[in-house]
Amino acid sequence: MTAKAMPRLLMTLILAVMPLMVQAQQVLIPAPPQIAGSSYILMDPASGKVIMEANSHERLPPASLTKMMTAYIVERELDENRLTMDEMVPVSVNAWQTGGSRMFIQEGSRVSVEDLLKGVIIQSGNDASVALAEYVAGSEGAFADVMNQQAQLLGMKNTRFETATGLPHPDQYSTAYDMALLAAAIINDYPENYPLYAEKHFTYNNIRQPNRNSLLWRDPSVDGLKTGHTEEAGYCLVASAKRDDTRLVAVVMGTDSNETRAREVQKMLNYGFRYYETARLFSSGEALLENRIWGGEKDQLKLGLASDMVLTIPRGARDSLESVVEVDTVTKAPVSAGDELGTVTIRFNDEVLAERPLVAIESVPEGGIFKRLLDAIKLFFHNLFN
């Protein structure tokens, strides 16, 4: 529903976090580094801003990056109380016999969801992935259907899963961009489980295995996520790091070695943190200004944003951001929370970085008959002289 309103007046506001009357600074940013991989991307998961990429929508074999979706679905089941970490999962012959990287679970045993999840994330266990898939959905094929449904919900438009493990399959593919979206969802949706991705070792059945993400040892700011490798896919890596208030996700697919994938992701992360930062400007429901409302139970209406405004900006540009607010000149009750009554535009060096609707963050019903009559008289003279 849209509130009753007259044509809008363009007005510029100076907001505390963004001084407007500061001379714009020249921020010099070099071209991104060259990356040795079939495709790659560097993204800010808070804003969704893509800082650098090449062939990021090309469909490629995802190898064990697939297990990020396996883990995400298990984390969703945990969040929705359909699983618990201490729940015991039976290990089938099929799970036990799954080849490739393994957690070394035993046929006929029962293993906790927590241990299996660690086996998937830290040890890249194919056997653990199949055991969880069978327990959650009844079979690995049914679990793959759930994986594909979840991929569509996350906006992963160029992804199709056929296995819970990432073992080669002719109809299984994904992209660097889609894997960055999935990494962002893991980080943002289930932060309570994200520390698992930073664990460097996990021991099960008296077998201690290291996390294959070598950047966990090289860069203290890196705290996840997943490696992948098959002959068809090459060496792949999705990594995330946080420095100060900025987090970035880097993905590289199709490199020629473990060392190459680590080195190229490190190059992307260093470039991103050196030249960009995350600016958290306004929070959802925060009152940015108050506007006169006519004929309502109250005279002032609080306006703000329906969702957080988070931008990725050149490092050092924060003090040169400009905010321009376009707001309705006359707003009449009733107004419902969420009604759009203007826009907020953020600019830097004459470039529009973001534009969001300015909405009512509270409802204001019509006032009584005498209040409406009095405001109608006031509004007549207001319009007459303005």
Task: Give the Cβ contact number of residue 345 at 10 Å.
Answer: 16
Average pLDDT over residues 66-82: 98
296 vs 77: CA distance, rounded Å:
46
Give the relative orientation of helices 176-189 and 67-79 as an angle to the nearest 10 degrees. 30
Using an 8 Å Cβ cutoff, are 41 and 251 in contact? yes
Does pLDDT of 72 surpass 80? Answer: yes
Which range, of 30-34, 73-77, 145-149, 291-295, averages the lowest pLDDT? 291-295
DSSP tally for the chain: helices H, then strands E: 9, 19
Residue type, 79: D
Quick: pLDDT tens for 108-128.
999 999 999 999 999 999 999
Does pLDDT of 2 surpass 80? Answer: no
Using an 8 Å Cβ cutoff, are 166 and 228 in contact? yes
367 vs 356: CA distance, rounded Å:
30
147 vs 66: CA distance, rounded Å:
9
Q: Give kind and range of the element (H or E) at residue 279.
A: strand 276-282
Does pLDDT of 386 surpass 80? Answer: no
Average pLDDT over residues 172-193: 98
212 vs 266: CA distance, rounded Å:
15
At which residue do the structure tokens 């650098």 appear? 52
Using an 8 Å Cβ cutoff, are 121 and 78 in contact? no
Average pLDDT over residues 207-216: 97
334 vs 125: CA distance, rounded Å:
58
pLDDT band at 5 (very low <50, low <70, confident <90, very high): very low
N residues, the chain:
386
Per-residue b/e over 204-217, b at no fewer than 16 CB within 10 Å?
Answer: beeeebebbbbbbe
Structural domains of the chain, with CATH: 4-25+281-385 (2.60.410.10), 39-255 (3.40.710.10)
Backbone angle region of 124, left / alpha / beta, with phi > 0 → left and psi within -120 to 50 → alpha: left
Residues β-bridged to residue 240: 224, 249
Using an 8 Å Cβ cutoff, are 255 and 263 in contact? no
Please give the model's pTM, rounded to 2 decimal places.
Answer: 0.90
∠ CA(359), CA(363), CA(365), 5° rounding?
130
| Catalytic machinery residues | 64, 67, 124
Share of the chain above pLDDT 90, in %: 81
**What are the respective helix, strand and coil percentages of the chain, to the nearest 5?**
30, 30, 40
Counting Cβ atoms within 10 Å, is residue 172 exposed (0-12), middle (13-18) or buried (19+)? buried
Quick one: which of 233, 27, 28, 203 has its CA closest to 123?
203
Contacts of 24 (CB under 8 A, 6+ apart): 320, 348, 349
pLDDT of 1 reads 42
242 vs 224: CA distance, rounded Å:
10
CA 329 from chain center: how many Å?
A: 36
Token pair belonging to 157? 């438009």
